[in-house]
Amino acid sequence: MALKPPPLGEVIQQVNELVDSSSIREEVDKNARALAQSALSRLDLVGREEFNIQADLLHRMQQRGTVLEAQLESLNLALERLYSPIV
């Protein structure tokens, strides 16, 4: 099971608590943020807006698939009735 890393703000706060000098604190904070931004930029992430667009598209395609399945079932039943032997 993968461990979930702590939030970035929490890590920065803990580092800041360990550093006493304000000039060192600012430098550590700056470097930590740059490191985090660099790591995040290498990940294959999408923004919330793009995610919402894709989720909406998926929902519409699922609805369309349901409609098409119902139409296919209806056509199959019609074909079965048309080609079934008369008893």
pLDDT < 70: residue spans in the chain: 1-3, 5-6, 15-16, 19-22, 86-87
pLDDT for position 55: 97
- List C-alpha distances in Å: 15 to 8, 10, 11, 48: 11, 9, 6, 29
Dihedral sign of CA atoms 46, 50, 56, 57 in order: negative
How far apart CA 40 and CA 78 sit, in angstroms, is 55
Question: DSSP assignment, residue 84?
Answer: S
pLDDT for position 21: 62
